Amino acid sequence: MKALIISADHFEDSELLVPYYRLLEAGIEVDIASISRGKINGKHGYQVDANKALKDVNPDDYALLVLPGGKAPAAIRKQLAAVRIAQAFFAGNKPVAAICHGPQTLITAGLLGGRRATCHHSVAEEMREAGVLYEDSDVVVDGKLVTSRQPSDLPAFMRETIKLLAPPTK
């Protein structure tokens, strides 16, 4: 099983690193994609290697999409490849987990209208304008979509994200 994290410079460090390491811990291979391959820098000084360029991502290769927050989504949402990747995950009914400003890419992709979701308080009005049924909660699960507000919500965010990856119980 493979997961894809999409981000860029000025990501919220914990919102990328916690999912990355938690997924690895669960035995899931993780790729990080950005506008181009190479190092991307977090808001608080952490640096990670984006081993894929967005243009080289095949969504069919992945079981999960993670969209961390920070200032990175402002750049990511302008990339047609990122929008198409998000649309492919929704079309394939695959899990998508977005935290903080991460849902902005999903708004740009036109994927959130009529869905329940949360985000950082500074994005809430944009979410409502996009037709989202906004909830101010640590985590909101709507089908295969998991959203959270901020770094302090990461435990709930990852708990619900990992649940979506588990095979259904009989």
Q: Which residues are catalytic?
A: 101
- Rounded to 5 degrees, φ, ψ at 79 are -95, 115
Tell me, letter by letter, the H, E, C secondary structure of 107-141: HHCCCCCCCEECCCHHHHHHHHHCCCEECCCCCEE
What's the longest Cα–Cα distance across the chain?
45
Dihedrals φ, ψ of 120, to 5°? -60, 145
**Structure-token match 């295969």, residue found:** 144
